[in-house]
Structure 1
Amino acid sequence: MKKKIYKGTALDLIQTAYIENHIPLVYCYMELDTTIDVNRLKQAVSRTTEVIPQILCGYNETKNAWILEKYGSNSVVKIISEKNCYEDLIWDLHIGPQLKINVYHQGAGDHLQIAISHILTDGAGFQQYLALLCKFYNEQNLKAFSEVNFRSVVPLLFHTAIQRLPHISKHVHKGNIPAILPVEKGQTLLHSLKVTLSEEQLKMVQEKAKNLHVTLNDVFMGSYAYALKSFTAQDEMILTCPANLRKFSTLNGKLTIANMTGKYLCRISLAKDEELKETILAVHQEMERQKSHYDCFHSILFLHILHTILPIKLLRHITRAFYSVEPISYTNMGAINENIFFQGITIKECYLCGTYRQAPSFQVSISTYKNVCTLAVNMCGTEKQRITGMQLLNQMKSALLSEL
């Protein structure tokens, strides 16, 4: 009997371009005030697979497709004995499944570590999946669910005035990649780093954005760039900023657990004599220019067309030529969906983060839950690299809270 196959898109393929360097995953971490009903959680996972069957699949790179395997919710949800059992959440996506949930019992409450394949979905789609999971957990008697998941990128491409990227390079030349973390040999471990901004501190950052007439994202990016100055001798770099493309299409508001992310490439000055205010305003000016030209769609239409006519093996080589994974990067996953909650349970902490990257690569992920903002990094590195990573996060936080 033939196994069921679900085809991928050109944007799924992008996530596999550098899979040998890091496994593309997106993470959610939750701290609960009480224990979760694990059996009920497994039932909810099973219900979500009726809508997103790719969860129970292995990913086939040759075909850019998901092939249904004999997985069940027991393969997805596991109770673990150690809170920092990160290794369980890094696995071969070719084998599958595309989702894993670890439940760690600690005292009166539970910690949830949830990881989903970035080949399957981006951060915005992950939030939609988490909301769907919670819906099935909270409404056990929900019989029918008629909503369909849209994965095609076509509506993104033909409902938007896409203009050609005018002059910025698609690659970051090696000379523009600052060595932020120390390059060293030694025992490497998995580290999850984070700092938080309280509700009052986040209001201070929002006020700063308002006074400068810039976006909150501009302030985050500018503060990150400002913090980087202390860790490199270079005078500029290009910082990527992912962009959710759903808002440009008729799909906005519909279920789109898929990859629908473009990116802006923002050239940022790291000049030591530049003040924080100047850096933020420069970031704002560059981002506004790129937004006005829809630069976040760079190459996506081209790759989509090629995806329909070329063999996947050849397309993968082309994808690598057009897309690079920058060692120093940034992603803002925004405010976490208010529909992510478990009935009868208070979520004390919740944040999202990108995948584990091998140091000296370093990506800061930003997310906000109930007006608490978390700056998080997943990395694989030595103790010295972990310490440097925490220093950078703390300097970014200091920049965010500093007076202009």
Structure 2
Amino acid sequence: MKKKIHRGTALDLIQTAYMESHVPLVYCYMVLDKAVDVSRLKQAVRSTAEIVPQILCRYNGVKNTWLPAKYDSNSIVKIVSDKNCYEDLIWDLHTGPQLKINIYRQGAGDSLSIAMSHILTDGAGFQQYLALLCEFYNEQNSQAVSEVNSRSVIPLLFHTAIQRLPYIIKHVDKGNIPEILPIEQGQTLLNSLKVTLSEEQLKMVQKKARNLHVTLNDVFMASFAYSLKSFTTQDEIILPCPADLRKFGTQNRKLTIANMTGKYLCRISLGKDERLKEMTLAVHQEMERQKSHYDCFHFILFLQILHAILPANLLSRITKSLYSVEPISYTNMGTIDEKIFFQEITIKECYLCGTYRQAPSFQVSISTYLQERLHTGCKYVRYRKAKNYWNENIK
């Protein structure tokens, strides 16, 4: 029987437009107190492939499709000896599968690195996949096998965007964050930086946010912009902020392992005398204005229309000219909830992060685990002789 070819969506193309500079992947890292059952995990992967068959496929960028390939759960789940091995952490999505799970065994427990193609799904969809994987791991006869994964953004456009065309069809600036660090050459090295706020520290930040009547995301965005002040002479920056479009319609209640992310472009003043408090209030005011105008849908409707009439390779080039992926960016990947767990195993640490980017580019990713700890992660590829300059400045 001929295997099915799976078509991509319009929003999948956004991630393909910049593949020459970085491989679009999303990551989840876990530290466990016990060893995971590998055969059980492989069976769980096989079960999820019944619902998300693209994980076993290779991606065809010319036609924006996933093509059947000779991959199985053994290709995806592997025990590795070096958890920083380049080939295990970054791979070619055009020839390899769309998911990799690396198990690093050290002592009594395991460390897991789960990486998924960002062409296939965004951070919110990735969390849905992780929850599905855990459900099949914990319940071998789970009823979730009957679920249908909805990847189309069209219902969202009909529900929200088309009703608000006067707001949505207008020109929007691109981000303008400067490339603040020098490009170096030399031996390629992978680096990850992580900062963790404890439960007590997180509660303190939440209390301050409530007192200011702002969101945690407002605080994080303002803090990120504030940290960039010392690296640039610009009076202001336009900071992209990804937005989960599922929250605007009924898709939030369905299985949507897909790309359904728009973005706001928050204009932030970088006055030398401006304090973090004033910057946070300004960010909150600007974000509230953009949310009320549904600015995160800008370009999405236009892209969807073009996707219906243009070939994928041409549309990818158009997307690159109209939709920028900033060299330095910020994303809030949300709260990792109680659905992500393994029976009889305690998850000691868990966080989400974006892909590796070549220095001086990087993305700051924020995620919260069970409302207990907040993790800020940053991944980058640098060169050996750039080590001192990069590490001194980025920290």
**TM-score scaled to structure 2, two decimals?**
0.94
Match of 1:170 in 2: 173
Match of 1:114 in 2: 114
Alpha carbons 2:359, 2:382 under 8 Å: kept:
yes
User: 1:342-375: per-residue Cα shift (whole Å, max 9, x none)?
Assistant: 0000000000000100111121000000310000
Question: What's the offset of the Cα at 1:51?
Answer: 0.5
Question: What's the offset of the Cα at 1:322?
Answer: 1.6
Tell me, in whole angstroms, the C-alpha distance in 2 between the residues paired with 1:285 and 1:12.
31
Which amino acid is the alignment partner of residue 179 of structure 1?
E
Tell me, in whole angstroms, the C-alpha distance in 2 between the residues paired with 1:271 and 1:180.
17
Match of 2:16 in 1: 16
Tell me, in whole angstroms, the C-alpha distance in 2 between the residues paired with 1:278 and 1:234.
18
Residue 10 of structure 1: SS of its match in structure 2? Answer: coil
State how many pairs are aligned: 391
Match of 1:398 in 2: none
User: 1:310-349: per-residue Cα shift (whole Å, max 9, x none)?
Assistant: 1222212221122111111100011113200000000000
Of 102-111 and 374-383, more deviation after overlay is shown by 374-383
Question: What's the offset of the Cα at 1:384?
Answer: 7.4
Q: Cα distance 1:194–1:144, how it changes in 2: closer, same or farther (>3 A)?
A: closer
Question: What's the offset of the Cα at 1:383?
Answer: 5.6
Question: What's the offset of the Cα at 1:387?
Answer: 6.1
Tell me, in whole angstroms, the C-alpha distance in 2 between the residues paired with 1:363 and 1:143.
37
Match of 2:157 in 1: 157
Q: Cα distance 1:171–1:29, how it changes in 2: closer, same or farther (>3 A)?
A: same
The residue correspondences of 1:154-303 to structure 2 (distance < 5 A) are 154-160=154-160, 161-163=163-165, 164-165=167-168, 169-172=172-175, 176-303=176-303
Q: Cα distance 1:50–1:306, how it changes in 2: closer, same or farther (>3 A)?
A: same
Unpaired segments of 5 or more residues in structure 1? 395-404
Question: What's the offset of the Cα at 1:185?
Answer: 3.1
Question: What's the offset of the Cα at 1:127?
Answer: 0.3
Q: Cα distance 1:224–1:382, how it changes in 2: closer, same or farther (>3 A)?
A: same
Tell me, in whole angstroms, the C-alpha distance in 1 between the residues paired with 2:388 and 2:277.
27
Alpha carbons 2:50, 2:145 under 8 Å: kept:
no
Which amino acid is the alignment partner of residue 171 of structure 1?
K
Q: Cα distance 1:375–1:385, how it changes in 2: closer, same or farther (>3 A)?
A: farther
Which amino acid is the alignment partner of residue 242 of structure 2?
P
Tell me, in whole angstroms, the C-alpha distance in 1 between the residues paired with 2:178 and 2:144.
52
Identity of counterpart residues, as a percentage? 72
Unpaired segments of 5 or more residues in structure 2? none
Alpha carbons 1:195, 1:393 under 8 Å: kept:
no
Tell me, in whole angstroms, the C-alpha distance in 1 between the residues paired with 2:389 and 2:239.
19
Which amino acid is the alignment partner of residue 383 of structure 2?
T
Residue 126 of structure 2: SS of its match in structure 1? Answer: helix
Question: What's the offset of the Cα at 1:268?
Answer: 1.3
Alpha carbons 1:236, 1:267 under 8 Å: kept:
yes
Question: What's the offset of the Cα at 1:184?
Answer: 2.9
Alpha carbons 2:57, 2:68 under 8 Å: kept:
yes
Question: What's the offset of the Cα at 1:144?
Answer: 6.6
Tell me, in whole angstroms, the C-alpha distance in 1 between the residues paired with 2:391 and 2:50.
41
Q: Cα distance 1:323–1:391, how it changes in 2: closer, same or farther (>3 A)?
A: same
Residue 162 of structure 1: SS of its match in structure 2? Answer: helix
Question: What's the offset of the Cα at 1:234?
Answer: 2.3
User: 1:246-281: per-residue Cα shift (whole Å, max 9, x none)?
Assistant: 011111121000000000011112222111111111
Which amino acid is the alignment partner of residue 361 of structure 2?
S
**TM-score scaled to structure 1, two decimals?**
0.92
Tell me, in whole angstroms, the C-alpha distance in 1 between the residues paired with 2:311 and 2:323.
18
Match of 1:7 in 2: 7
Tell me, in whole angstroms, the C-alpha distance in 2 between the residues paired with 1:143 and 1:208.
43
CA-atom RMSD in angstroms: 1.8
